[in-house]
Amino acid sequence: MDNSEKKPIIQVKDVDLFYGDFQALKKVNFDIQEKEITAFIGPSGCGKTTLLKCFNRMIDLIEGCKVHGQILIDDIDIFDTKKRNVNRLRKDVGMVFQKPNAFPMSIYDNIAFGPRTHGVRKKQHLDEIVKDSLVKAGLWDEVKDKLNKSGLNLSGGQQQRLCIARALAVEPKIILMDEPTSALDPISTGIIEELCEELKQHYTIVIVTHNMQQATRISDKTAFFLLGEMLEFAPTEELFSNPKNEKCENYITGRFG
């Protein structure tokens, strides 16, 4: 992997996060490089999804949640409301969830929803965006003849790719994925994993996964979290072959968790 031309797109600096009195993230510090896949691993409740939800400020929706420290995306503090508009942030940072959440509308409208919200009105332009997004998500050939059918009629794996296409439609820079294949069969999982490899050419991907083989297969770097701390962050091959942190070693080799 040649890192010489890559730059950090996300910089996490001294991030502490509290849900009321409970501290969910403790002094987390690290950089995520652009056009790489970064995997977050760790046992349930370790803070990996919490950190993921910080990146598009979904965390704002949780009452009593306080964040200290800084998260810079493209060198701008995402919590600095004067410099960062949250709608703009969520356009730049798309998200795909554990369960596919296609909207109860046509495949076409699922994809066009975001661009329309951002003011795209021309049919021809929307058609282009819909096709382009579905092509990038590897779904075009399967749905091109039924764009007006409901997105909910697709299989689970197809719906998840529809959600990825929907995220791509607003031209994000970063795609957050929260266990995107945990509800899918192995074939659909394989398709999504291959898709991630392709998307990496143009987007930065941050993926939370409980499937460590998946992290090994697709990610460039892996971060291991435990009890709100990020204990190890390293190139994936290194972390899974020779982890430096004993707790990380114990977790990935199944001694706990």
Q: Is 158 in the site for other proteins (CB under 8 A)?
A: no
Q: To the nearest whole angstrom, how small is the minimum distance from the Cβ of residue 215 to other proteins?
A: 10
Q: 156 vs 235, which CB is nearer to other proteins? A: 235
Residue among 40, 108, 203, 240 that touches other proteins (CB under 8 A): 240
Q: 148 vs 253, which CB is nearer to other proteins? A: 253
Binding mask 208-227 for other proteins (x = CB under 8 A): ----xx--x-----------
Q: Is 243 in the site for other proteins (CB under 8 A)?
A: yes
- Number of residues forming the site for other proteins (CB under 8 A): 14
Residue among 29, 85, 117, 253 that touches other proteins (CB under 8 A): 253
188 close to 217: Cβ distance less than 8 angstroms:
no
Site of interaction with other proteins (CB under 8 A): 212-213, 216, 237-238, 240-243, 249, 252-255
